[in-house]
Copies of this chain bind each other. A is one copy, B any other.
């Protein structure tokens, strides 16, 4: 058997693939060389998960990798129709980000409830101003996205006493279907977007849906920027349809310096880092190495994406 070729769509720092040394020929590509190298690769590791190069470079016909793995939970940046239609297997980093993102959401929910951004603002002015803040226990959350991230978010919020409803693509045990979404949004104190970006979810948080929410509600986006109609969100916060938002993802990243979101009262902007805790890159690399060993042994891969749906179908 010839040594397989693993092509890595690079980002700094490079992945630690130590255990694979000698068992695989590792080649590297960036956006400009990917198209030329893809046909000769057996496996593609999309280490630069911010790149959309795979969509552009994927060969329509002829030789192509049999397996593509992306070091991200979302696969929206690589799923082009040709890849979706091919017999190439796509896997993702399911599992790595769940706990970190759940903690990030809990932290932002608590920060809003305890008025922490204002506390920090008053501190800068050396102003002692007592306020009454909110309990989190007993409030209601609506978490949109019932995959591992959404479920981890729900579990952590419930551990804090928040009554949490999960909304998925279809109703199932413990998960509401889309038909319940509007009703759940209307009574939620916290609306969390943790869904994959698909044709069904793109722009789902629009003016109408922000209009359903309570003026005291906060919106938290840890999914994808394109789940949200950003202009509608800006207006909803500015006009106090909702109380505020914590946004870790944006339609265009990095967020443009001129975006009104940076300075909108009640909005917290973070740079797409909610899932990235110390050691995350090593964890992503280790996860790929484990999958590689399954692939090498001819065993079924885990975290296989349903390319038609755009995510790994859940339990």
Nearest CB to that of A138 among chain B residues? B99
Q: For chain A, residues 124 to 159, give those with C-beta under 8 angstroms from any C-beta of chain B.
A: 126, 128-137, 156, 159
A113 to B103, Cβ gap below 8 A? Answer: yes
Q: How far is the CB of A281 from chain B (nearest CB, A)?
A: 8
A157-197 near B? 1/0 per residue, CB < 8 Å? 00111000000000000000000000000000000000000
Interface residue from B100, B131, B159, B271 paired with A273 (Cβ < 8 Å): B131
A107 to B111, Cβ gap below 8 A? Answer: yes
Q: How far is the CB of A121 from chain B (nearest CB, A)?
A: 8
A255 within 8 A of B: yes
A62 within 8 A of B: no
B104 to A107, Cβ gap below 8 A? Answer: no
State the copy count for this chain: 2
B99 to A135, Cβ gap below 8 A? Answer: yes
Whole-angstrom distance between the alpha carbons of A116 and B117 in the complex? 9
Q: How far is the CB of A248 from chain B (nearest CB, A)?
A: 10
Which interface class (under 10, 10 to 19, 20 to 34, 35 or more) fits A? 35 or more
Interface residue from B104, B255, B278 paired with A132 (Cβ < 8 Å): B278
**Listed A/B pairs (5) with beta-carbon separation below 8 Å:** A99-B135, A108-B116, A128-B255, A130-B272, A133-B273
A268 within 8 A of B: yes
B contact residues around A117 at 8 Å (CB): 120
Whole-angstrom distance between the alpha carbons of A295 and B222 in the complex? 53
Interface residue from B111, B122, B277 paired with A135 (Cβ < 8 Å): B277
B270 to A119, Cβ gap below 8 A? Answer: yes
A268 to B160, Cβ gap below 8 A? Answer: no
A6 within 8 A of B: no
Q: How far is the CB of A141 from chain B (nearest CB, A)?
A: 14
